[in-house]
Amino acid sequence: MSEATARTLEDHDPCTDMMVAGERLTCDWAGCLFWPDEETLIVSDLHLEKGSSFARKGQLVPPYDTGATLARLAQRLAVWQPKRVISLGDSFHDPEGHERLPENYLAQLSLLMDNREWIWISGNHDPAPPKDLGGKGASEMLIGNLTFRHEPSRGPMRGEISGHLHPCGKIVKRNRSVRRPCFVSDGFKMILPSFGAYTGGLNIRHSAFDGLFDQSRLSAVLLGNKRVFHIAARNLVA
Protein backbone atom coordinates (compact mmCIF):
# COMPACT_ATOMS: atom_id res chain seq x y z
CA MET A 1 0.00 0.00 0.00
CA SER A 2 2.99 2.25 -0.50
CA GLU A 3 1.20 4.76 -2.75
CA ALA A 4 -1.27 5.45 0.04
CA THR A 5 1.43 6.38 2.58
CA ALA A 6 2.23 9.69 0.90
CA ARG A 7 -0.01 11.37 3.45
CA THR A 8 1.75 13.90 5.64
CA LEU A 9 0.98 15.37 9.01
CA GLU A 10 -1.07 18.07 7.29
CA ASP A 11 -3.50 15.45 6.04
CA HIS A 12 -4.69 14.79 9.57
CA ASP A 13 -7.65 16.84 10.74
CA PRO A 14 -8.44 18.69 13.96
CA CYS A 15 -11.33 16.31 14.52
CA THR A 16 -12.66 13.01 13.26
CA ASP A 17 -15.92 11.09 13.48
CA MET A 18 -16.63 7.85 15.28
CA MET A 19 -19.89 5.91 15.07
CA VAL A 20 -21.45 4.78 18.34
CA ALA A 21 -24.77 2.88 18.21
CA GLY A 22 -25.47 4.42 14.83
CA GLU A 23 -24.83 7.98 15.99
CA ARG A 24 -22.14 10.05 14.32
CA LEU A 25 -19.96 11.69 16.99
CA THR A 26 -17.11 14.11 16.37
CA CYS A 27 -13.94 13.70 18.41
CA ASP A 28 -12.33 17.13 18.86
CA TRP A 29 -8.54 17.47 19.30
CA ALA A 30 -9.07 19.35 22.56
CA GLY A 31 -10.68 16.24 24.08
CA CYS A 32 -14.38 17.06 23.88
CA LEU A 33 -17.04 15.27 21.87
CA PHE A 34 -19.61 16.94 19.64
CA TRP A 35 -22.89 15.31 18.69
CA PRO A 36 -24.11 17.28 15.67
CA ASP A 37 -27.61 15.81 15.48
CA GLU A 38 -28.36 16.96 19.01
CA GLU A 39 -26.09 20.04 18.96
CA THR A 40 -24.62 18.69 22.16
CA LEU A 41 -21.05 19.00 23.43
CA ILE A 42 -19.82 16.38 25.89
CA VAL A 43 -16.81 16.74 28.17
CA SER A 44 -15.60 14.45 30.91
CA ASP A 45 -13.50 14.66 34.03
CA LEU A 46 -12.92 18.41 34.26
CA HIS A 47 -11.56 17.95 37.79
CA LEU A 48 -11.98 21.66 38.50
CA GLU A 49 -10.11 22.88 41.61
CA LYS A 50 -7.77 19.92 41.58
CA GLY A 51 -4.91 22.35 42.25
CA SER A 52 -6.46 23.67 45.46
CA SER A 53 -7.34 20.13 46.43
CA PHE A 54 -3.64 19.29 46.33
CA ALA A 55 -2.76 22.51 48.11
CA ARG A 56 -5.02 21.48 50.96
CA LYS A 57 -2.86 18.41 51.36
CA GLY A 58 0.38 20.37 51.33
CA GLN A 59 1.36 20.34 47.69
CA LEU A 60 1.13 23.91 46.49
CA VAL A 61 0.75 23.32 42.74
CA PRO A 62 -0.16 26.40 40.67
CA PRO A 63 -3.75 27.51 41.35
CA TYR A 64 -4.45 28.11 37.65
CA ASP A 65 -5.82 24.75 36.57
CA THR A 66 -9.46 25.73 36.82
CA GLY A 67 -8.76 28.84 34.77
CA ALA A 68 -6.93 26.83 32.14
CA THR A 69 -9.66 24.21 31.89
CA LEU A 70 -12.46 26.77 31.66
CA ALA A 71 -10.57 28.81 29.06
CA ARG A 72 -10.15 25.75 26.87
CA LEU A 73 -13.78 24.80 27.32
CA ALA A 74 -14.87 28.34 26.43
CA GLN A 75 -12.81 28.15 23.27
CA ARG A 76 -14.39 24.86 22.18
CA LEU A 77 -17.88 26.12 23.01
CA ALA A 78 -17.20 29.08 20.75
CA VAL A 79 -16.21 26.71 17.97
CA TRP A 80 -19.07 24.21 18.24
CA GLN A 81 -21.84 26.52 19.54
CA PRO A 82 -23.76 23.69 21.24
CA LYS A 83 -27.27 24.09 22.61
CA ARG A 84 -26.53 21.59 25.32
CA VAL A 85 -23.45 20.66 27.35
CA ILE A 86 -23.05 17.41 29.26
CA SER A 87 -20.27 17.19 31.83
CA LEU A 88 -19.77 13.48 32.39
CA GLY A 89 -18.84 13.56 36.07
CA ASP A 90 -15.79 14.35 38.17
CA SER A 91 -16.48 17.91 37.14
CA PHE A 92 -14.93 18.94 40.45
CA HIS A 93 -11.97 17.16 41.97
CA ASP A 94 -13.62 16.81 45.36
CA PRO A 95 -17.10 17.35 46.84
CA GLU A 96 -16.10 20.76 48.31
CA GLY A 97 -14.44 21.80 45.07
CA HIS A 98 -17.21 24.05 43.82
CA GLU A 99 -17.24 25.90 47.15
CA ARG A 100 -13.58 26.80 46.69
CA LEU A 101 -14.16 28.11 43.18
CA PRO A 102 -12.67 31.63 43.17
CA GLU A 103 -15.02 34.51 42.28
CA ASN A 104 -13.65 35.15 38.82
CA TYR A 105 -13.83 31.52 37.75
CA LEU A 106 -17.35 31.28 39.07
CA ALA A 107 -18.32 34.20 36.85
CA GLN A 108 -16.54 32.64 33.89
CA LEU A 109 -18.38 29.36 34.36
CA SER A 110 -21.76 31.10 34.66
CA LEU A 111 -21.06 32.87 31.40
CA LEU A 112 -20.39 29.55 29.69
CA MET A 113 -23.61 28.07 31.07
CA ASP A 114 -25.69 31.03 29.92
CA ASN A 115 -28.31 30.35 27.27
CA ARG A 116 -27.76 26.66 27.01
CA GLU A 117 -28.87 23.49 28.71
CA TRP A 118 -26.20 22.24 31.06
CA ILE A 119 -26.11 18.79 32.62
CA TRP A 120 -23.86 17.77 35.50
CA ILE A 121 -23.58 13.98 35.59
CA SER A 122 -22.32 12.97 39.02
CA GLY A 123 -18.98 11.23 39.35
CA ASN A 124 -17.09 9.46 42.10
CA HIS A 125 -15.23 12.67 42.99
CA ASP A 126 -18.40 14.76 43.02
CA PRO A 127 -21.33 12.47 43.90
CA ALA A 128 -23.77 15.35 44.42
CA PRO A 129 -24.44 17.98 41.72
CA PRO A 130 -22.71 21.31 42.52
CA LYS A 131 -25.01 23.60 44.47
CA ASP A 132 -25.79 27.15 43.37
CA LEU A 133 -24.16 26.72 40.00
CA GLY A 134 -27.26 26.13 37.98
CA GLY A 135 -27.64 23.40 35.43
CA LYS A 136 -29.30 20.06 35.93
CA GLY A 137 -27.82 17.28 38.03
CA ALA A 138 -28.22 13.61 37.11
CA SER A 139 -26.51 10.33 37.82
CA GLU A 140 -27.25 9.15 34.30
CA MET A 141 -29.03 10.50 31.25
CA LEU A 142 -30.60 8.94 28.18
CA ILE A 143 -30.86 10.98 25.00
CA GLY A 144 -31.96 9.22 21.82
CA ASN A 145 -29.81 6.14 21.35
CA LEU A 146 -27.18 7.22 23.82
CA THR A 147 -26.78 6.83 27.58
CA PHE A 148 -24.49 9.25 29.38
CA ARG A 149 -22.93 8.20 32.66
CA HIS A 150 -19.66 8.66 34.54
CA GLU A 151 -18.38 5.12 34.88
CA PRO A 152 -18.49 2.70 31.96
CA SER A 153 -20.55 -0.40 32.66
CA ARG A 154 -19.04 -3.88 32.41
CA GLY A 155 -21.19 -6.22 30.30
CA PRO A 156 -22.66 -5.49 26.86
CA MET A 157 -24.34 -2.14 26.41
CA ARG A 158 -25.41 -0.39 23.21
CA GLY A 159 -24.81 3.33 23.05
CA GLU A 160 -23.02 4.26 26.26
CA ILE A 161 -20.87 7.37 26.57
CA SER A 162 -18.75 7.59 29.71
CA GLY A 163 -15.53 8.89 31.21
CA HIS A 164 -13.93 8.15 34.59
CA LEU A 165 -10.95 6.11 33.35
CA HIS A 166 -9.02 8.93 31.62
CA PRO A 167 -8.08 6.69 28.69
CA CYS A 168 -4.67 7.06 27.05
CA GLY A 169 -3.39 5.28 23.99
CA LYS A 170 0.22 4.34 23.49
CA ILE A 171 1.94 3.52 20.22
CA VAL A 172 5.52 2.46 19.57
CA LYS A 173 7.12 3.59 16.34
CA ARG A 174 10.82 3.57 15.47
CA ASN A 175 11.71 2.49 18.97
CA ARG A 176 9.93 5.38 20.53
CA SER A 177 6.68 5.38 22.36
CA VAL A 178 4.09 8.13 22.24
CA ARG A 179 1.33 8.25 24.81
CA ARG A 180 -1.69 10.52 24.45
CA PRO A 181 -5.16 10.94 25.92
CA CYS A 182 -7.72 9.38 23.62
CA PHE A 183 -11.32 8.58 22.80
CA VAL A 184 -11.75 4.84 22.75
CA SER A 185 -14.70 2.96 21.26
CA ASP A 186 -15.85 -0.32 19.83
CA GLY A 187 -18.93 1.16 18.18
CA PHE A 188 -21.14 0.22 21.14
CA LYS A 189 -19.51 2.16 23.93
CA MET A 190 -17.21 5.10 24.02
CA ILE A 191 -15.00 6.46 26.79
CA LEU A 192 -13.93 10.09 26.63
CA PRO A 193 -10.48 11.39 27.56
CA SER A 194 -10.29 13.60 30.64
CA PHE A 195 -10.57 17.30 29.88
CA GLY A 196 -9.16 18.87 33.06
CA ALA A 197 -5.79 20.66 32.91
CA TYR A 198 -4.31 18.61 35.75
CA THR A 199 -5.65 15.21 34.78
CA GLY A 200 -3.37 12.38 33.75
CA GLY A 201 -4.34 9.23 31.94
CA LEU A 202 -4.52 5.47 32.13
CA ASN A 203 -3.41 3.23 29.30
CA ILE A 204 -6.37 1.51 27.65
CA ARG A 205 -4.37 -1.72 27.89
CA HIS A 206 -4.49 -1.49 31.68
CA SER A 207 -6.54 -4.18 33.37
CA ALA A 208 -9.12 -1.54 34.42
CA PHE A 209 -10.33 -1.63 30.81
CA ASP A 210 -10.61 -5.44 30.72
CA GLY A 211 -13.99 -6.65 29.56
CA LEU A 212 -15.28 -3.20 28.65
CA PHE A 213 -14.90 -3.42 24.90
CA ASP A 214 -15.24 -5.85 22.03
CA GLN A 215 -11.53 -6.03 21.25
CA SER A 216 -12.11 -7.01 17.63
CA ARG A 217 -13.86 -3.70 16.90
CA LEU A 218 -11.80 -1.42 19.10
CA SER A 219 -10.05 1.70 17.89
CA ALA A 220 -8.96 4.94 19.49
CA VAL A 221 -8.66 8.57 18.51
CA LEU A 222 -5.48 10.01 20.03
CA LEU A 223 -5.16 13.71 20.68
CA GLY A 224 -2.29 15.54 19.02
CA ASN A 225 -1.34 19.15 18.64
CA LYS A 226 -4.47 20.62 17.03
CA ARG A 227 -4.96 17.30 15.26
CA VAL A 228 -6.41 13.91 16.05
CA PHE A 229 -5.11 10.53 14.99
CA HIS A 230 -7.42 7.58 14.51
CA ILE A 231 -5.45 4.47 15.41
CA ALA A 232 -6.26 0.79 15.07
CA ALA A 233 -6.30 -1.55 18.06
CA ARG A 234 -3.29 -3.54 16.88
CA ASN A 235 -1.12 -0.41 17.10
CA LEU A 236 -2.17 0.36 20.66
CA VAL A 237 0.18 -1.25 23.12
CA ALA A 238 0.52 -1.65 26.85
Residues that bind another protein (CB under 8 A): 1, 4-5, 7-9, 11-12, 50-52, 54-56, 58-65, 67-68, 102, 166, 170-180, 197-202, 207, 219, 222, 224-225, 227, 229-232, 235, 237-238
Measured from the CB atom, the residue of 175 and 216 that comes closer to another protein is 175
- Minimum distance between the CB of residue 62 and another protein, rounded to whole angstroms? 5
Measured from the CB atom, the residue of 115 and 177 that comes closer to another protein is 177
CA distances from 209 to 101, 110, 121, 164 (A): 32, 35, 21, 11
Please list the residues that pair with 26 across neighbouring strands.
Answer: 17, 34
Measured from the CB atom, the residue of 36 and 62 that comes closer to another protein is 62
Measured from the CB atom, the residue of 80 and 105 that comes closer to another protein is 105
How far is the C-alpha of 136 from the C-alpha of 51, rounded, in Å?
25
Q: Coil, strand, or helix at residue 187? A: coil
- Minimum distance between the CB of residue 1 and another protein, rounded to whole angstroms? 4
- Minimum distance between the CB of residue 123 and another protein, rounded to whole angstroms? 12
Phi, psi of 154 (to 5 degrees): -70, -145
- Annotate 56-110 with three-state secondary structure: HCCCCCCCCHHHHHHHHHHHHHHHHCCCEEEECCCCECCCCHHHHCCHHHHHHHH
CA distances from 179 to 20, 200, 202, 226 (A): 24, 11, 10, 16
Measured from the CB atom, the residue of 61 and 142 that comes closer to another protein is 61
Measured from the CB atom, the residue of 143 and 208 that comes closer to another protein is 208
- Minimum distance between the CB of residue 38 and another protein, rounded to whole angstroms? 27
